[in-house]
Structure 1
Amino acid sequence: MRRHALVVGVGGAAASLTDESPPNWPPLAYAAPYAQRLREVLGKQYSYVLLEPDPDPAFTAAALSDALTAAVKSGADFIVIHLLGHGAPTRNSHGLQVVGGDGELTEALSRWADLAENLTTGGDSEPAVLLVLDLCHSGTVVTEHLRSLVRPEHRRVWVLAACQSDQSAYDGRLSLAFDEVLRGFASGALKLDESHEHIPIDRLCREVALHVEDQGAGSYSQAVERPLVALGTDLSHLRFFPNPRYEPGGPRGRAGVDPAVFAFLDEVADARHFVGRAHGGNGAAAESGLSTFTGRSAELRELTAWAEGEGAPVRIVTGAPGAGKSTLVGILACTAHPLLREATERLWRPSAGDLPDAVEGLAVVHARRRTVARILSSLAAQWNLEPADPTTTWTTDRLVAALRTRAEPPHLIVDAVDEAENPADLVTALLLPLLSIERADMKPLCRVLIATRREESLRHLFEVAARYCDPIDLDHVPPLSTAPGSDREGSVVGSTSATTATSSRSPVSAYAWMCSATYE
């Protein structure tokens, strides 16, 4: 399988020694080094043949035009074209041109998108082109390309644009994000199952968009335009990026869990974390796909009632490190999440009598090292929420407004709150509002299950939750026995007594108390 890449960073013309007037297009000093970093990761980690036309396409608009034509016609199965520089709308504002290193303009980029779509190939394969545009107004290319498609189901070109058509692109954010995401998958910092042979293109684009969003926090906003496809479209044929950590028959594959499951949820949801905890951490069991989890029936029944919409809308599972918090919520998440339930049946089946059916609208979050902004974006994606203005980023207020309009309160499981990037911020900015605000029909905004240690920075969270019921404290309800060869966090074994009785405070008075506590 042949993969070719053309990466061009147009820094602009050198300053004139005689003309002191400001240039029409300010130079971009970062363009060349950013482009070089991308070339390195594409070549070394993803086995791309790097196209190096002569003359250098960064020097003139004519050289760039020739390089684009040659790249599209290179005959590769997968072609990545990455452009970083200035973008200029065409006179009718329906297209986008690139400013060459000599200040001249190329033709509209739609010319090369159309060339790729209509290229006649000698073989049976049709080349696929990923056009990554770190240019101002680059969203225009996404719109124009979709309009021009005669047979959208057979499209060859996919456009990832730095910003909306009426926006500017700042500081090479898209190029930085693309580079960081590619390196993240290669190093394992971004988790992808080892038995997944290629990085799903929608997952990659989503991660790039989140990285750009993070860079813009507190500064000029910039919303990435991702390739648009109908919901549910199969994109598995877009094998642009092999998984650098691919291992045929890797541990998850041997465990009997289809690795495709993990691609459906993003890094913040971190399905691998919940499935791994449900395994129990026992190496032999993980190899066989069996769980070391037994017992904890009383706690499972309490959490099943929560998942089925009964009782208190907020529950906290707490305990010392290794007590089994993540294992307990991991089993529940695997059972209740529609995307995980069938694939992980061997893990939860032994405890099925104490567990719920699938819960539609369940979102899961592994909060470890996650920021509030990343978690907000993940929740919006998992709950299929659409912002009123696609150029804006998700905030707690926007999330709350969107949740108010849902037919029923959704469910949310958050593990490792105490290990978030800033646990106090996560509690104050997101969790307390979700727990405190009610809908017009007096139902909770969201049913929330939290797993965390007790820490002083989380005191307010425990105080609020206690107005509904006491936490499930695994330090106070120890298992009756311990499985040989397993640690406490890796497996939760033996039945236990029920947790302490719930508070007698009514839900309405609890809501009133929580609202005052949150905003005082």
Structure 2
Amino acid sequence: MTGGGDSFEVLLVGVGAYAHHDPISDMEVQLRRVAELFRELGGLSGSPWPPPAGPSMSAVNEELRRWSEPDPARCSVVVWLGHGESDGDDAWLGVYETGKPMRGTGLSPHAVADHVVNEWQRRAAHADAWAMVVVEACGADTFVRRLASHLLGRHTSPQRLALIGSGGEGTGYLGRFSDALEATLRSYTDNDESVSLKDLVGRLEDRLEEGCAHLLSARRAARLVRRRVLPGPVNAPLDLYEEFRRFLLGLSADERTHFLPKAQGGELGELAWHFVGRAEESRRIVDWLRGSGRGLYVVTGPPGVGKSALLGNVLVESDPGMRDLLARATDYVPVYAAPARAFHAVMSLTGLRVSDVVERLAWASGVGSVDGVDGLVAALHARGMPFRVLADALDEAQEPQALASGVWRRLVGVPGCRVVLGMRPATGTDPDVAGPAGEDLLALLRGPDTQVQTLGHDPAAVGAYVRRRLVMAGVADSGAVDWVVEALRGRHFLFARLAIHEILARPQLLLPHRRLRLARLLDRDHRALFAEAIERLNHRFPLAEPTLEALACARGRGLPRADKLLTTVAAALSSAGEVREADVDDVLAAAAPYVMIDAEDGTTVYRLAHQTFREYFRPS
């Protein structure tokens, strides 16, 4: 950002002491909360201004003058908290000597507009610098509307400027802006590398109970860089991502500084968070990784048996930082530690095209820009160094057959290139359809240098997983836990994970007199279990179904929330009309196990976690 890398100045103006109005006792607490929230986006603030004694009008104007005349120009935020007043047509903000009524002795929108214009005249020469003015006070809606009117009425109005008003009647308004800002920041994930001013203001406005937002041309405004918790993009079910993130936030700053720089992140889906079993399968992959030369190791099997979880666990075992983090968070014990930093490239292939994969492989190998697959293969030959790749979900790519024969088979023809690849044996495999599946993808990958490991059902591991989740949740006695373990041990991991979520959402099902109802629930297939979840969610959140249906419409890696894309699609599918950002917050939190987060172009995207769930809304 202009004038300071990824940071911006935050001026906090909190007027808590008055000669003719009631004092505001928790002003400093509110100001510090706002400062901490903006810090997540790069905001830098000094001590809240003014000191405890209330400021005079001249002192306020001097502080605003200082803000409006920076050297050099920079991005900035002004936050004003205090008393205000409106008569419906005009509004004023109170300073120490402001009387009752405030007309004539309070700070007017016109006076603030003069400072904003002065600030713009210095900032205009910088192509991307932006400013934001936040007012939280009684009558803030009217104050900000009048301020915008003064600015827009000029021959050349300020640009890249956000004006936000938050406030209702009485002193109960204080804190509503910080509540809205906190909820807005929670709506981003660690896949959001940066945030546009337009998107930030749009999400804020949607969450303000009383207030307004005006954005005066955000074109070319510098993006705000988020302070991330995880070190890199994550591709994972939303509930596991949130659980892992909560654990990381519970660490001290020193612990995060020590472990996270060593961790590769979670490009593979399961994050190994609740991984159990598969010791022999893990050993085979690790033994293969310790070899040399070129080759392809394919992990395949029907949907829901835990292919992604196994590969995610192998990734963790090759990553000392993630391994140590999981050991602190859970009872995780390494099974067969893979060679440290075993992979040069890790990716989920969901929604990717051949060109996307080639670009990522070229970047990860350090060969730079290449001309298609031929260019990549030639560059890797010339590079002459080992190159190991872990990739998952080939069957969910946009061009799975072309990737199988045209990329992966050719890549492992290069000396030193070794690929571990996760996939179903064929495209379009349904976890709820019994019987053998085709092998159209697997056939394209077979060769003398290919090893195939087919995962089957693992009742012991499923039972251990179910027991662990229920015991950790503390919602059932040992008899109920034993009953659920026995009921689910014959199912795949995917079904068991979703069934556990439904049980934890309705723990009353574990009561003895509800056992028959629970048995009927656990006797269903994946699609019916999802339908049950939709019915449950609709009782709590009437907009759950159109929001999840919007995710079923997603193409590629998913649908973003940025610029209201998700809310717009959901609203188009809803008979109720408008869908707000807060509605999406509620639905995503409640439906987290059924939703996958991913990253595309530095932005979080969302999709339903399984093709079966998409088919609920879009039957073939």
- When normalised by structure 1's length, the TM-score is 0.45
Which has the larger Rg? 2
